[in-house]
Amino acid sequence: MSQMLQPSRVAQQTGYRRPNRLERAKAAGLIDVSLFEDADYPAPLVLPNDEIDFDPDYPPQSFSDWQKHITPKSLPFKRTKIYLLPPPGWTEKASFLYRNEWPHRHLLPPGSESIVEYLAAFYDGFEVLQLRKEKLTFDEWIEEGEAEQSQSFVALNTGTESIRIRKRPMSNKGRGFQLNLNDLLDGAIAVLPDDALALILHMDFDLYEDDDDDFVCGRAYGESHVCVVSSFRYSPARDNDIEVDLEHFWPASHCATYVEDQVDKYIEKPATKSGRKGQTEAKTSTTEPSMPLRMAIDAHKLSSHRSAWLNRVCRTASHEIGHCLGLDHCMYYACIMQGSATMAEDLRQPPYLCPIDDAKLNTLIATRGNVSVGSTANREQALLAFTKQYQQGSGFAAFRAWLEARQKQRANKTLASADGRPNENTSADVDGSRSKAKKRIVTSSEELRRSKRLVSRSC
């Protein structure tokens, strides 16, 4: 099967230009450009209605850009741990809300313990811990002067205060309700440990952010060190509702035929002199069997519901925590730190960090984590051990094959420069080659509040 390694024709239409290999190497602060082969780390696909299609000029974040953002003030040295807070429990008075309106009765959501285990592997070098479920508790909210509980709010108790959480009915005709993401993040901030690099609140209810939103899967307040991820929309039981192409999750999303079919629905191929429609200019390739993407595609298979659900939530959890560590949306590669505009795009993206974001994480571990174990090779080994537990899961099986191929590459070629710190001698070149990021104009208090956090994986 031919693989799509470069952006689709949509990129040409929308004006997105991917930095070339040398520019990407400079952006990572590395000098070994052989680490940036497309067969190992393909470009963003840029399909119709993808995030980059909507915002092709979003400024890329180089290693140098990130390094300027990470300061003792923005990320104090005392912050060294990553925490996950399980879905809050419900008081007896309010528990009927959970019993009556949970829509996935036949399928239990992923357990927080498994997500913590995955994050501990993905962010190997940092200590990842699970907080007690009782840290936050939902209760009924009774407005002052009212005798009965409000139908528009629930209370989130932190032990020291009660935070009002907005709720609204589901936008479709299905049963259930949605909780407001911004209010929940206020609750997460209220219980943030002093030593937390990041706190992720795991929710199993559907979320919304603004009145105009249908739903949102996750969001990070990067400078506040908190993020929230909802497992609700990732349930395989909802796949038919959102028209997800089950056969073209990552890595099969890089199938050239699939990409062309998606693009042809929106863009007609340019005619040649003979009057026939021409072929795409995007680069396709048939890689050697040892290449990570090729091996991942060969291992791709339809998954069991349970492991598929866990895989999807783990991917978004690792993305949101990345924002808490200062990583912005990736514009260089198909990467776990890409933004996603739709659920379909979310599931087309890979679970790994690209070389540029990987260099950022290695540097952060060197100053905030356990540098003796924090390296790309060690993280990949930890992830490989995790994925071996879920051999029947589509995403985990494919990711396992990708990781095994990476190990084979390491055995055949030293990748020490990818695992080490960025080369100091290239820092000036990075700054010199970087174009100035566009200023973001703040026009209201709401936009000001939004500008203080990194945009995340909303769908």
CB count within 10 Å of CB 372 equals 9
CA atoms within 13 A on the CB side of 324: 31
Q: Are 79 and 225 in contact (CB under 8 A)?
A: yes
Give me the amino acid identity at 397. Answer: A
Average pLDDT estimate for 328-352:
95
Per the model's pLDDT, the better-predicted residue between 393 and 308 turns out to be 308
Query: Which residues make Cβ contacts (< 8 Å) with residue 145, sequence separation at least 6?
Result: none
pLDDT score, position 152: 85
pLDDT tens for each residue of 368-390: 888 888 889 999 999 999 999 87
Q: How confident is the model at residue 395 (pLDDT cuts 50, 70, 90)?
A: confident
> Which DSSP string do the residues of 293-339 spell out, in sequence order?
HHHHHHH-----HHHHHHHHHHHHHHHHHHHHTT----SSSS-TT--
Q: What percent of the chain has pLDDT over 90?
A: 51
pLDDT tens for each residue of 117-160: 999 999 999 999 999 988 899 998 887 655 555 678 999 999 99
Give me the amino acid identity at 39. Answer: A
Query: Which residues make Cβ contacts (< 8 Å) with residue 420, sequence separation at least 6?
Result: 362
| DSSP 3-state of 220 | strand
pLDDT score, position 191: 96
Structure tokens at 5: 């390694």
The Cα 380–Cα 383 span in angstroms is 5
pLDDT score, position 393: 59
Q: What is the DSSP letter of 46?
A: -
Q: How confident is the model at residue 208 (pLDDT cuts 50, 70, 90)?
A: very high
Q: What percent of the chain has pLDDT over 70?
A: 76
pLDDT score, position 432: 32
pLDDT at 315 over 50: yes
Residue of 134, 216, 142 whose CA lies nearest to 183? 216
Which H or E run includes 167?
strand 162-169
The Cα 126–Cα 371 span in angstroms is 9
Beta bridge partners of 3: 255, 285
Mean pLDDT of the chain: 81
pLDDT tens for each residue of 17-30: 999 988 999 999 87
pLDDT tens for each residue of 51-100: 999 999 999 999 999 999 998 888 888 999 999 999 998 887 777 655 54
Q: Are 341 and 349 in contact (CB under 8 A)?
A: no
Q: What is the CATH number of domain 3-271+278-437?
A: 3.40.390.10
Q: How confident is the model at residue 410 (pLDDT cuts 50, 70, 90)?
A: confident
**For 60-76, b where at least 16 C-beta lie within 10 A, e where not — what string?**
bbbbbbbbebbeeeebe
Q: Are 116 and 365 in contact (CB under 8 A)?
A: no
pLDDT tens for each residue of 151-206: 789 999 999 999 999 999 887 656 678 999 999 999 999 999 999 999 999 999 89
Q: Are 386 and 121 in contact (CB under 8 A)?
A: yes
pLDDT score, position 169: 86
Scan for tokens 């357990």, then name that residue: 111
Strand residues in 304-448 grouped as ranges (E): none
pLDDT score, position 448: 31
pLDDT score, position 420: 52
Structure tokens at 372: 């003796």
Q: How confident is the model at residue 270 (pLDDT cuts 50, 70, 90)?
A: low
| DSSP 3-state of 4 | strand
| DSSP 3-state of 346 | helix
Structure tokens at 195: 């030593």
Query: Which residues make Cβ contacts (< 8 Å) with residue 53, sequence separation at least 6?
Result: 10, 14, 16, 46, 47, 341
pLDDT score, position 101: 55
Domain range annotation of the chain: 3-271+278-437
The Cα 95–Cα 346 span in angstroms is 32
Give me the amino acid identity at 198. Answer: A
